[in-house]
A and B are shown apart, each in its own frame.
Chain A
């Protein structure tokens, strides 16, 4: 077993353990903090896959923005659900059975594919060639300029929609 495999296994154990903590803890604030650890584990997996740009984006966007947004929302809606109440609905037994069936089905289907056990070797891309190719591809009209611009419009629409929905309309009535 090589050093890389040991690193992968320890990262995988941390990621999966913290993911289980995210879905099982009763205190939602603790769940959100465990989610940060999961996202960090996934970011290190991206680094192992030689997608260093996405490792950075994962830390900036997910841990820097989404996780903080979630923690804010948890704090804004605090004290509504008592921690001593059950946080799961009645269907948790069925959900575990369903999830295990899907896991077995997925892995048994994937393992019939001949490329399943391919060892991933290092890509020979010197320097930051990968990021340069991605940047050029995203603004190239023959490449992915249209999806890229559509995605920016989606982000703008989501921003405006979020502000509009969360805006407190009672302020207008008082004045």
Chain B
């Protein structure tokens, strides 16, 4: 029987690896890879707590699953829009380095 703490620690480590990737990488697509890792860590956390709560109540709760479904959906929408923006910026700037995207800078 796996303790809840193992899932929580794994999710925390996965989230922070993703955060590190999102902070330090130069390439915009690599930043997006970090964000995907963070969203996955959140899903692990949500489903671990869903299992915990269902087990505590003795009946299946669906709140946690609904949350997870919406997080997955938001992640799909985010990936599609972000990649469209990256390709659009690449077409006009010939660069996908996040630090070069400074057209709006005053």
A→B interface (CB under 8 Å)? 2, 4-5, 8, 12, 15-16, 19-20, 22-23, 28, 31-32, 35, 38-39, 42, 45-46, 48-51, 53-54, 57-58, 61-62, 65-66, 69-70, 72-74, 76-77, 80-81, 86-89, 91-92, 95-96, 98-99, 102-103, 106-107, 110-111, 115-121, 123, 125, 129-130, 133-134, 137-138, 143-144, 147-148, 151, 154-155, 157-159, 161-163, 165-166, 168
Interface residues of B (CB under 8 A from A): 1-10, 12-14, 16-21, 23-27, 29-30, 32-34, 36-37, 40, 43-44, 47-48, 50-52, 54-55, 60, 62, 65-66, 68-70, 72-81, 83-88, 90-91, 94-97, 99
**For the complex, what is the distance from the CA of A31 to the CA of B27, rounded to whole Å?**
12
Which residue on chain A has the smallest CB distance to residue B34?
A: A23
* Bound-complex Cα distance A134 to B66 (A): 7
Q: Which residues of B contact A165 (CB under 8 A)?
A: 81, 84-85, 88
B78 contact set on A, CB distance < 8 A: 158
